[in-house]
Structure 1
Amino acid sequence: MKLGYCSITWGGVVGHPQGVTSVKDLFYLTHGPMDRAVADIAQAGYEGVEMFDGNLAAYADKPEELRSILDKAGVSLVSVYTGANFIYADILPDELHRIERAAELAATFGAERLVVGGGARRAAGTTDEDYKRLGEALDRVADIAEAAGLSASYHPHLSTIVESPDELEKLMPLTRIGFCPDTAHLAAGGGDPAAVIRQYPDRIRHVHLKDFRKDPFAFLPLGEGELDFPDIVAAIKESGYDSWLMVELDEYDGDPKAAAEISRKYLQQLLP
């Protein structure tokens, strides 16, 4: 297994303001400097990085600048994260247009994987039809990714219609897209991350590792929360997955490089 880190910790996550009036431009963004994030990730001992689609879009007209940042640090762009509502028919074409753009950019910069979250919760409540629409949209995301030479996976996430194990179970038969377990989001949604991984061993295409504390709620560097990572790693190995483990830490107020180093040191002790 190879270890990578997500750039979200260097500035947190926002949506591009243009997306307020133009759905096709509603990229995710990390406001921190990508050159510093990539350098810190490399210095902390990771081999790869995951970025948001909006951060790649910022380099669309100056691709050599991002390639230079990656090459200088000696890390590769492994994966790109994006998301959408997916359940509203009228805006779905524009959402898929943006995801297609994200996939094109990911391929341009040498990424292997496209990771998506989403499935909006309606104010009036979630319906079974929403899961059907989400599943159909995710199949189209898989098609988009494959056309760009990427592997696509779905990431259950708080605030979407796929938070809990029961909600994930509703979705999985409705789509062929791969599965990206995020250990902290699975736990925050009421699941046992290792058990969920063991439930879908053949669907795992990508992995996000982060720790979690329930009360008071917090995402934390690995080894500083409540999650049983020896069992989680055992479950990943049992599934046959033997590829990138991406450490992620969002909503964190501490120093991002120090947090990356804490998680790397923990994984050095955990992994042979």
Structure 2
Amino acid sequence: MKIGYQTNTWGGVVGHPAGVTSVKDLYYLANGSTEQAVKEIAAAGYQGIEIFDGNLMQYDNRPDAFKQLLNDNGQVLIGVYCGANFIYQDIFKDELHKIDKVAKLAAELGAVHLVLGGGAIRSGGILETDYQSLAGGLEHASDIAAKYGLIPCYHPHLGTIVQTPEQLDKLMTMTDIALCPDTAHIEAGGGDPVEVIKKYADRIRYVHFKDYRYGAFLPLGEGGQPFAEMLAVLKENGYDGWITVELDSYGNPAEGAAISMRYLQEKLKVAV
């Protein structure tokens, strides 16, 4: 297996301010330095990076600078994290426009995966038809990914209509999209990440590892997630793709990345 790291720890999980008034510019964005993130991820021993769509689009007019940054640090672009509401028909075309722009640039820069989050929760609560809208939106996004040779994966997330195990099961019956389990978000939503990996092993094309305890996301080994068991299940089912470590925020991002790498190497015996 290959081990990567998300750059969002450098700056934390925020969003592009232009998205408040322009849906086509509604990107995820970490406010830190991508250049610093890539250098410190490489120094910690990881092989590749995942990046938010907003941070990737900062290189839209200078792709060669991004390629040079990766080459200088011995990294590859694993994938880009993108998202949308997917349930509001009036803005759906603009959301797909954004996803298309992101997927095109990601493919040009060598990415493998298009990671998709989303499924907004309405102020008045979830409608059953929202799941159908989300599933349909993900099918359209999957077609975009296929157009550019990317592998689309859905990422369950707190704050969406796919938080709980029951909600995930409902969505997975409505779409053929691959799954990118985020182990901490699954647990935070009331699920068992080991059981989710077992259940959907044939649809997992990409994995996010993140530790979790008492409502907090943590570096690997500092929470209670059974990563050894997860790895065993993945290996039993022939998974040999990327595992990306993600940590939404940490006081010292480089230290957080190093803590997780030590855990992977010393406790899980993962060769990097």
What TM-score, normalized to structure 1? 0.97
- Alignment-mate amino acid for residue 172 of structure 1: M
Deviates more, 1:61-70 or 1:156-165: 61-70
1:162 matched to 2:165? The reply is no
Alignment equivalent of 2:259, drawn from 257, 262, 269: 262
Q: What secondary structure, in the 3-state scheme, does the structure 2 residue paired with 1:91 have? A: helix
Matched AA of 2:79: S
In structure 2, how many angstroms separate the alpha carbons of the residues matched to 1:95 and 1:235?
35
Deviations 1:68-114 (A, max 9, x none): 11111010011000101001111111001100111001011110110
Matched, 1:57 2:79: no
| DSSP-derived class of the 1:90 partner | helix
Q: Which residue of 2 aligns with 1:238?
A: 236
Q: Is the 8 A contact 2:11 2:249 kept in 1?
A: no
Give deviations 1:20-45, integer Å, cap 9, x for gaps.
11101111111111111000000000
Q: Name 2:171's counterpart in structure 1.
A: 171
The aligned counterpart of 2:11 is: 11
Aligned to 2:25: 25
State the distance in 2 between where 1:251 and 1:259 align: 9
3-state SS of paired residue (1:4): strand
CA deviations on 1:12-66 (whole Å, 9 max, x unpaired) are: 1221111111101111111111111000000000000000111111111111111
What runs of 5+ residues in structure 1 fail to find an aligned partner?
none
SS at match of 1:123: coil
Report the Cα distance in structure 2 between the residues aligned to 1:189 and 1:124, rounded to whole angstroms: 20
Q: What is the CA distance between 1:271 and its match in structure 2?
A: 3.3
Query: C-alpha distance in 2, partners of 1:26/1:239?
Result: 37
Distance 1:193 1:259 in 2: 22
SS of the counterpart of 2:120?
A: coil
- Alpha-carbon separation, structure 1, partners of 2:172 and 2:188: 19
Distance in 1 (CA, whole Å) between partners of 2:155 and 2:118 is: 8
Partner of 2:249: 251
SS of residue paired to 2:81: strand
Pairing of 1:1-272 with structure 2 (within 5 A): 1-214=1-214, 217-252=215-250, 254-269=251-266, 270-272=268-270
Deviations 1:201-253 (A, max 9, x none): 11101100010012xx210000000111111111222232111110000033x
8 A Cα contact 2:7 2:34, kept in partner: yes
- Cα RMSD, aligned residues only: 0.9
Hey, what's the Cα distance between the residues in 2 that align with 1:145 and 1:4?
Answer: 21
Q: What percent of counterpart residues are identical?
A: 56
- 1:180-208 CA distances to partner (integer Å, 9 max, x unpaired)? 00010000000110101101011101100
Using the alignment, how far apart are the partners of 1:55 and 1:123 within structure 2?
29
SS at the partner of 1:174?
A: coil
Structure 2 CA distance for aligned equivalents of residues 238 and 101 of structure 1: 37
SS at match of 1:231: helix
Q: Matches of 1:189 and 1:258 in 2, distance apart?
A: 27
Q: Give SS of 1:260's match.
A: helix
What SS does the corresponding residue of 2:149 show, helix, strand or coil? Answer: coil
Contact 2:99 2:141 in 1 (8 A): yes
The 1-side partners of 2:27 and 2:202 are apart by 30
The 1-side partners of 2:91 and 2:137 are apart by 12
Output the CA distance in 2 between the equivalents of 1:145 and 1:230.
32
